[in-house]
Structure 1
Amino acid sequence: MAKENQISLDIFLKEGNERKKIQENRFKLTKEHLDRVRHIEGFPIAKDEDIISLSDPPYYTACPNPFIRDFIKEHGKPYDPDNDAYRRQPFAADVSEGKNDPIYNAHSYHTKVPHRAIMRYILHYTEPGDIVFDGFCGTGMTGVAASLCGDRRTVESLGYRVLDDATILDEKGRPFSKLGARKAILIDLSPAATFIAYNYNTPVDVRAFEREARRILDEVERECGWMYLTQHVVDGKVQKDAKGNPIMGKINYTVWSDVFICPSCSRELVFWEVAVDKEEGRVRDEFPCPHCGANLTKRTLERATERVYDREIGEFIIRARQVPVLINYSVGNKRYEKKPDGYDLELIRKIEEIEIPYWYPTDRMPEGYNTEQPKVSHGFTHFHHFYTKRSLACLAVLWNCFRFRNRKITSRLLYSFTSLYQRVTKMAEYRKGGGSGNIPNFYIPSFNREPNVYEVCKRKLRNIITALIAMSLCHSQNTISTQSAGQLHQIKSSSTDYIFTDPPFGGNIMYSEMNFLWEAWLRVFTNNKPEAVENKAQGKGPREYQELMEKCFAECYRILKPGRWMTVVFHNSQNRIWNAIQEAILRAGFVIADVRTLDKKQGTFKQVTSTTAVKQDLVISAYKPNGGLEKRFHLEAGTEEGVWDFVRTHLKHLPVFVEKNGRAEVIAERQNFLLYDRMVAFHVQRGVAVPMGAAEFYAGLKQRFPERDGMYFLPDQVVEYDKKRLTVQEIEQLSLFVTDEKSSIQWLRSELSKKPQTYQEIHPKFLRELHKAPHEKLPELSELLEQNFLKDDNGRWYVPDPGRQSDLEKMREKALLKEFAEYKEGRGRLKVFRTEALRAGFKACWAAKDYKTIIEVARRIPDTVLQEDTTLLMYYDNALMRLEE
């Protein structure tokens, strides 16, 4: 029997190992795989062997992932329109999740949304096992959030309650989700981003990693420790031990200062010595030249330079002169500071002369927007110029020790290495009182802080181990791909269940430039041709940025199942970028259902109504209409029934009741003017004439849908709203930004809905709220009242009923079109104009299919105005598209 068992065990092991080999071969990344995806947009710039070396297939590839289709086939749920019962309202609750979390802080990146905040969205919109997509994944926080949706303790830490059957209850005890990991597809154009995301989203033996990391750090300290020794000095005297040998301290960091030239006497000045108030720890605005006494400011100084031979590139270079001015060191557990002495300067000279025996990058800096400053100010043209020779030597030792280990251990070690980022470069600013400032955009400060590299790595390692333990709570294997989100050939249409993404916004951050320092070490670089940014060096302006974003959102629309949701986080203070993002989302086919702002002081999301007043981060909730609406609209397009079919469908997707601190919020999207705007956009984006004007729409809305507190509902929704409305004391009104004629009318309508008011009563309030744009030809308040409202016998203005409103609308539109005709017949640039006249004229031209006039007039107004007005931009973009067809 034992013998038979042994034979069975041998067969079992043999067959298992054979299957394992087949699986390993199946997912081994080869040059043949690369050839199959090389045509996909965003394929990185690198040698094939470096891409293969960095990758860990099938879950992560440093190129377009050829195994994504297998991932979806294994984990996805095919879309079945006949049996699809999915229904969700937009996530409209407040979110307050700070950044003080070990997972969040394990590795820096230029922008990150805390994974705990993303978890709330994923739990709301998905079920366990659903596939979540992020096309601009950055460090992969969406994947971390998807995985941790399966960890009970983490979910409960969000303030939710988990029942024994895995049902999740919200803060008010209502069931809304199920406990269980979701699967994530994470994509980014940057190899640095996807490498970091892979390490965040892949399990590892934490203890094995810790042992290996500490062993290597000890090795590096033995090899490089001599570079960070300094003589202990007290009152100018070198301290000695009992044997008469100098007492040596370990350097914590060295401060380096720029050197300038006095414009009066042409002698060199060490900026640290002449400009810093050592007691107060600040830089003086004015200071005297120690040589000639001339009164100086930093702006009046000329930078001192030096000509040195750069053996890495084999030529002489001119660089800004910097000198060490302060050393912070430790003897035992006590810290000291001193000015560099002869020993220290000789040590630095010796290190400068050595030839580093290990590989390190020497790539030339890319031409770009951010990379110009260090080139111009300090002569930094290549990678190695951003490091002192000492830091570079120590990093080279670390990198080469980290490279040759078990794949997953190696990846985690390199992840730890890249987490050091700017703090080990000359971009780390010295700050009195401890710490260093990580300056973005390749800015080289006048005082930089050169740390003890392996000590920094030790400290960072502790944080990473804490994060890895937290991440090991629940690891659902996700899949990661390095490519453009504008070409997702590996993902089938209607195959993903939810999208959460934080895309780039205009010229906020040049990711391909900022990631250069990481990618030079990884030896795989971003292909920035499809990078969605505004960047003069890349030849990309607002139009190119919007087109690239449209392409990405169109792919998001294609791969998302009908009726499902996309959440977009937006960080930019420019209205034109906000409008470009909205336009890109709408042109892709999505319908925006909710917009909230992130209050940075409070850390919460609040509702926003003005689409032209962007001052904080925004969270956009948009849905892909289900196939039923699209099919019906195709038959009903341009008809009154098509309008009301859209409105009914849209109302289904809006939140019914939102409460905060015992007060009900007015839901902006349920107001008549925003419902009208969404309806118009839905028609125009699909190339269809809008069959009715605003007044006719408002009247029809009043007839067909119940209204509460200025909002419109479906019959079953209003029952729910009325019940919940009884539970609160009052309703919180929305604040409107009065910048142009349209927002002025909205503000007046809101104000006069409260009670009829005379001109004298309303005039001072109106002036307080008015912030007119410079180009806007805004009618007088009296004219706005006469064209849009009615006056009673007591001289009080009030909101007319829908029947009278229609007559007023026709009179007003006639006046607006008359003014538009003057613009149309004129020549030259329009500097001051009535934006409402342009909107009315564009609408009329669209109905008449006069696309040429829309384009000609649009090109005569300032481009900033066009980019910052969602309605004008919508008509212009779609008119361009129609003419090109």
Structure 2
Amino acid sequence: MQMELPRDSIILAKTHPPMYLIHKYWARKPHNVVKAYIEKYTKPGDIVLDPFCGSGVTNAESILAGRNTIGVDINPISILLTQSTITPINIARLDQFFKKMREEITPKIGDFYDITCPSCNKQAIINQLIWINTENDNKNPPKEEIEEIRYHCSQCKKKNHIVDKLKYPQIYAVEKDRVDKISTRFDEYLKRLDLELPDIPLQYQNGSKYKQIRHYIIQNPTATNLFTKRNLIILAILKSTIDELIPKATTDYELKIIRKLLLLTFSANIGQSSKMVWVISNRKNFIQRKKEVGSWTHHFYWNPKSFFEINPALSYFTRASKSLRAQKNLQNRMKHQNIESIHMFEDFDQFNRSTLSNKICLLQQSVENLPLADNSIDYIFTDPPYGDSIQYFELSTLWNKWLDIANDTQETEEIVINSHQKKSNEVYFQKLESGFKECYRVLKNDAFMTITFHNTNVKIRNGLIRSVLNCGFTLNSLVVQMPARNSLKSYLHYDKSPIGDYFLRFQKKPNNPAKKHLNDIQLINIIKKTVKKVLSERNEPTRISFLYNCIDEELALFNSFPLINPSIVEKTLAKMEKENQISISDDFMVGLTVQGMEVKLSLTQKIIEYLDTLDDLKKKTNAEVYNVIYERFNGRNTPDRKQVSKIIEKTIKKINDSGELSD
């Protein structure tokens, strides 16, 4: 039976709760936005499928909303992360194992990071060093020198304290000698400690180097160049200690889950133990008094000019506290939803036969051959791969190899654009279409599939959407979810791509008669009417990127999105400007010309007046006020996030002496 649903509206994204901070993953969507879609399109007990489940937000939010769910991903770390995120465990017992890890690790790392505290002459421990690469030619091996040493001293209570290089040069000299010794005798250390390092070449089976590598890594594409020798040894110690505490062959279910959490905590620590932790020396053009620790934020492997060497043992136990908080958050949310248990399946047939509620099935495989029955899924919510934007296989290599879960299938079957893998745009779209055909097959008749994605390349966006339409789906709703923060880059992107993430609602409607496509004259008329209507309703200059969003949404209603010839929009706007119907400023703000303006309130004035009618405004938090505004003013009247911030600030100043909302 067809569902009559109201238009999707923008939802203010919330920050990730602790259960999603257990491990890094790319392009993780806001949990509250995902949850809202799941609750809108399904009822308790329905089955929600995410065929590109990634970090498992869709699956976790489905379970916590009382739905059953299936997650599919070809990436091994994705399945491990999803399972660990949504599997409750005895927190006290997990904490015991982290404490055992500390007991085992502490005596093993003394030779590597111990230091004499210059203040009290007692034993302390180095927690961070800053290194500088003095080699300017990226084709040559880095020449790294210690710029700064930081340490913890339990005796004199110093924490992250900097050793004065001018006052204590001998400490720096001793540390250099230790580093040189470790590098020279690296193989001896591994043999004496009975350690093994994974072989991680940053290249494909065909011999091609990874696409997303930079600097000296291009000349020598191996993961060992991403770490100091010392940190490689300590990472190997951490991994071997986990294997000793809970062997891989254990058959105890709870121990299996705890082992996975110990390993996930370990892999979450790998990036922060590398040289890719860049140094933040200034913020907003202000030089930092004390340089701050960055992280592996870029979507590539690289050698920054200066980097932090973080003590992997100390950072592991920092990560352990996050793993514990993640479990507490999961179990608190389960309690709040009256969910007593979650049932995990790794086989669809068992999942399908089970009469249990709150069940989840995780399948590590390609989406192109789903082992699911026809017409068995109630709703699909997914975030497919973004063309060439994120190379998931490459970026997951560090984790998968260290955890010994890597497989060749991910490389060959990954849906991506990557010339180094000989995967062209055509191959990407073909594989996407193959996957969405499977989605169409397993989805129930008249049910919906929501696809969300962000790619600033219009050709990739349009090709992805066509790959869905070619499978028989009907596009009947399009919303652009504005980001929490708009970057200048997104405003001024050369092709004026829409800001934010697309949320497209497709429906499976068998035997649905094809709609007629519009000709260029009809399209131009729709574009003109949309621009005039949007600018007239808002009655103030509007960013051109937002106009593109509105045009896309309008074209979708006429079965004409994506456009075969996207340039028609830009040409139409240029003609409207030439005919003096609109004006376009240098910073891409578009407004009606004087003769097109009406004497009425602008969007900003409407929002201010609306806020003045709210009696309980002072009691609301910033996020609550944002949501109130976006719920009232959406569609063509969706305000810009920056604009909303200014409006709130001015409004609150009138009613609150402090000028701030509650925290």
Instruction: Give the TM-score range, shorter chain.
Output: 0.5 to 0.7
> Are residues 222 and 477 of structure 1, via their aligned partners in 2, closer, same or farther at CA, if it must alter by over 3 Å?
farther
Q: 1:478 aligns with which of 353, 360, 367?
A: 360
Q: 1:127 aligns with which of 43, 54, 79?
A: 43
C-alpha distance after superposition, 1:702-758 (max 9, x if no partner): xxxxxxxxxxxxxxxxxxxxxxxxxxxxxxxxxxxx98546766999xx9xxxxxxx
C-alpha distance after superposition, 1:203-228 (max 9, x if no partner): 21121111111221221012113311
Letter of the aligned partner of 1:355 in structure 2? Y
Residue 566 of structure 1 contacts residue 622 of structure 1 at CA under 8 Å; is this kept in 2?
Answer: yes
Residue 445 of structure 2 contacts residue 508 of structure 2 at CA under 8 Å; is this kept in 1?
Answer: yes
Greater Rg over alpha carbons, structure = 1
Distance 1:189 1:350 in 2: 42
Residue 201 of structure 2 contacts residue 221 of structure 2 at CA under 8 Å; is this kept in 1?
Answer: yes
Q: What are the residue-to-residue correspondences of 1:25-424 with 2, within 5 Å?
A: 85=1, 87-89=3-5, 92-149=8-65, 181-233=66-118, 246-260=121-135, 301-302=136-137, 305=140, 319-332=141-154, 333-334=157-158, 335-339=161-165, 341-352=172-183, 353=185, 354-356=188-190, 357-367=194-204, 370=210, 373-374=213-214, 376-377=216-217, 379-403=219-243, 404-405=245-246, 406-424=255-273
Aligned residue for 1:677?
559
Aligned residue for 1:456?
315
| TM-score of the aligned structures, taking structure 2 as reference length | 0.68
C-alpha distance after superposition, 1:115-154 (max 9, x if no partner): 22211110001111111111111111111111221xxxxx
> Are residues 499 and 362 of structure 1, via their aligned partners in 2, closer, same or farther at CA, if it must alter by over 3 Å?
same
Deviates more, 1:330-339 or 1:185-194: 330-339
Residue 91 of structure 1 contacts residue 121 of structure 1 at CA under 8 Å; is this kept in 2?
Answer: no
Matched, 1:466 2:328: no
Residue 370 of structure 1 contacts residue 513 of structure 1 at CA under 8 Å; is this kept in 2?
Answer: yes
Distance 1:425 1:771 in 2: 40
Following TM superposition, by how much is the alpha carbon of 1:395 offset from its aligned partner in structure 2, in angstroms? 1.3
> Are residues 565 and 100 of structure 1, via their aligned partners in 2, closer, same or farther at CA, if it must alter by over 3 Å?
same
Residue 374 of structure 1 contacts residue 380 of structure 1 at CA under 8 Å; is this kept in 2?
Answer: no
> Are residues 771 and 247 of structure 1, via their aligned partners in 2, closer, same or farther at CA, if it must alter by over 3 Å?
closer
C-alpha distance after superposition, 1:156-176 (max 9, x if no partner): xxxxxxxxxxxxxxxxxxxxx
> Are residues 209 and 638 of structure 1, via their aligned partners in 2, closer, same or farther at CA, if it must alter by over 3 Å?
closer
Aligned residue for 1:729?
none
Matched, 1:620 2:503: yes
Q: Give secondary structure in 2 for the equivalent of 1:459.
A: helix
Structure 1 residue ranges without an equivalent (≥5): 1-84, 150-180, 234-238, 261-300, 306-318, 604-611, 641-659, 685-737, 752-760, 773-795, 797-885
Distance 1:464 1:744 in 2: 53
Following TM superposition, by how much is the alpha carbon of 1:369 offset from its aligned partner in structure 2, in angstroms? 6.5
> Are residues 767 and 680 of structure 1, via their aligned partners in 2, closer, same or farther at CA, if it must alter by over 3 Å?
closer
Aligned residue for 2:657?
none
Residue 186 of structure 1 contacts residue 479 of structure 1 at CA under 8 Å; is this kept in 2?
Answer: yes
Letter of the aligned partner of 2:277 in structure 1? A
Following TM superposition, by how much is the alpha carbon of 1:559 offset from its aligned partner in structure 2, in angstroms? 1.0
Aligned residue for 1:731?
none
> Are residues 380 and 202 of structure 1, via their aligned partners in 2, closer, same or farther at CA, if it must alter by over 3 Å?
farther
Aligned residue for 1:551?
434
Q: 1:434 aligns with which of 292, 301, 316?
A: 292
> Are residues 477 and 413 of structure 1, via their aligned partners in 2, closer, same or farther at CA, if it must alter by over 3 Å?
farther
Residue 422 of structure 1 contacts residue 438 of structure 1 at CA under 8 Å; is this kept in 2?
Answer: yes
Q: Give secondary structure in 2 for the equivalent of 1:517.
A: helix
Q: Give secondary structure in 2 for the equivalent of 1:623.
A: strand
Following TM superposition, by how much is the alpha carbon of 1:668 offset from its aligned partner in structure 2, in angstroms? 6.3
Distance 1:672 1:119 in 2: 26
Matched, 1:541 2:381: no
Q: 2:386 aligns with which of 505, 518, 534?
A: 505
Q: Give secondary structure in 1 for the equivalent of 2:451.
A: strand
Following TM superposition, by how much is the alpha carbon of 1:619 offset from its aligned partner in structure 2, in angstroms? 2.7
> Are residues 375 and 525 of structure 1, via their aligned partners in 2, closer, same or farther at CA, if it must alter by over 3 Å?
farther
Letter of the aligned partner of 1:503 in structure 2? P
Q: What are the residue-to-residue correspondences of 1:759-774 with 2, within 5 Å?
A: 763-766=579-582, 768=584
Letter of the aligned partner of 1:104 in structure 2? Y
Q: 1:491 aligns with which of 372, 381, 391?
A: 372
> Are residues 669 and 416 of structure 1, via their aligned partners in 2, closer, same or farther at CA, if it must alter by over 3 Å?
same
Residue 474 of structure 2 contacts residue 509 of structure 2 at CA under 8 Å; is this kept in 1?
Answer: no
Distance 1:674 1:345 in 2: 63
Q: Give secondary structure in 2 for the equivalent of 1:478.
A: strand
C-alpha distance after superposition, 1:73-93 (max 9, x if no partner): xxxxxxxxxxxx451426612
Residue 426 of structure 1 contacts residue 449 of structure 1 at CA under 8 Å; is this kept in 2?
Answer: yes
Residue 371 of structure 1 contacts residue 442 of structure 1 at CA under 8 Å; is this kept in 2?
Answer: no
Distance 1:679 1:256 in 2: 51
Following TM superposition, by how much is the alpha carbon of 1:522 offset from its aligned partner in structure 2, in angstroms? 2.0
Q: Give secondary structure in 2 for the equivalent of 1:419.
A: helix
> Are residues 122 and 427 of structure 1, via their aligned partners in 2, closer, same or farther at CA, if it must alter by over 3 Å?
same
> Are residues 679 and 343 of structure 1, via their aligned partners in 2, closer, same or farther at CA, if it must alter by over 3 Å?
closer
Following TM superposition, by how much is the alpha carbon of 1:249 offset from its aligned partner in structure 2, in angstroms? 2.4
Distance 1:638 1:438 in 2: 47
Residue 190 of structure 1 contacts residue 512 of structure 1 at CA under 8 Å; is this kept in 2?
Answer: yes
Aligned residue for 2:627?
none
> Are residues 231 and 95 of structure 1, via their aligned partners in 2, closer, same or farther at CA, if it must alter by over 3 Å?
same
| TM-score of the aligned structures, taking structure 1 as reference length | 0.51
Structure 2 residue ranges without an equivalent (≥5): 166-170, 247-254, 282-290, 335-341, 343-357, 487-494, 518-536, 539-545, 589-595, 597-663
Distance 1:346 1:186 in 2: 50
* Identity among equivalent pairs (%): 22
Letter of the aligned partner of 2:295 in structure 1? G
Q: 2:405 aligns with which of 520, 524, 532?
A: 524
Deviates more, 1:452-461 or 1:399-408: 399-408
Letter of the aligned partner of 1:509 in structure 2? I
Letter of the aligned partner of 2:18 in structure 1? P
> Are residues 509 and 482 of structure 1, via their aligned partners in 2, closer, same or farther at CA, if it must alter by over 3 Å?
same
> Are residues 378 and 543 of structure 1, via their aligned partners in 2, closer, same or farther at CA, if it must alter by over 3 Å?
closer
Distance 1:671 1:190 in 2: 33
Q: Give secondary structure in 2 for the equivalent of 1:420.
A: helix
Distance 1:302 1:123 in 2: 54
Q: Give secondary structure in 2 for the equivalent of 1:108.
A: coil
> Are residues 491 and 419 of structure 1, via their aligned partners in 2, closer, same or farther at CA, if it must alter by over 3 Å?
same
Deviates more, 1:343-352 or 1:392-401: 343-352
Residue 561 of structure 1 contacts residue 624 of structure 1 at CA under 8 Å; is this kept in 2?
Answer: no
Following TM superposition, by how much is the alpha carbon of 1:508 offset from its aligned partner in structure 2, in angstroms? 0.3
Q: What are the residue-to-residue correspondences of 1:609-648 with 2, within 5 Å?
A: 614-627=497-510, 629-630=511-512, 633=513
C-alpha distance after superposition, 1:364-392 (max 9, x if no partner): 22246755635745744333332212211
Residue 17 of structure 2 contacts residue 329 of structure 2 at CA under 8 Å; is this kept in 1?
Answer: no
Q: Give secondary structure in 2 for the equivalent of 1:514.
A: helix
Following TM superposition, by how much is the alpha carbon of 1:410 offset from its aligned partner in structure 2, in angstroms? 0.4
Distance 1:304 1:442 in 2: 15
Distance 1:397 1:407 in 2: 20
> Are residues 739 and 411 of structure 1, via their aligned partners in 2, closer, same or farther at CA, if it must alter by over 3 Å?
closer
Aligned length: 495
> Are residues 384 and 745 of structure 1, via their aligned partners in 2, closer, same or farther at CA, if it must alter by over 3 Å?
closer
Following TM superposition, by how much is the alpha carbon of 1:255 offset from its aligned partner in structure 2, in angstroms? 1.4
Q: What are the residue-to-residue correspondences of 1:593-612 with 2, within 5 Å?
A: 593-601=476-484
> Are residues 442 and 381 of structure 1, via their aligned partners in 2, closer, same or farther at CA, if it must alter by over 3 Å?
same
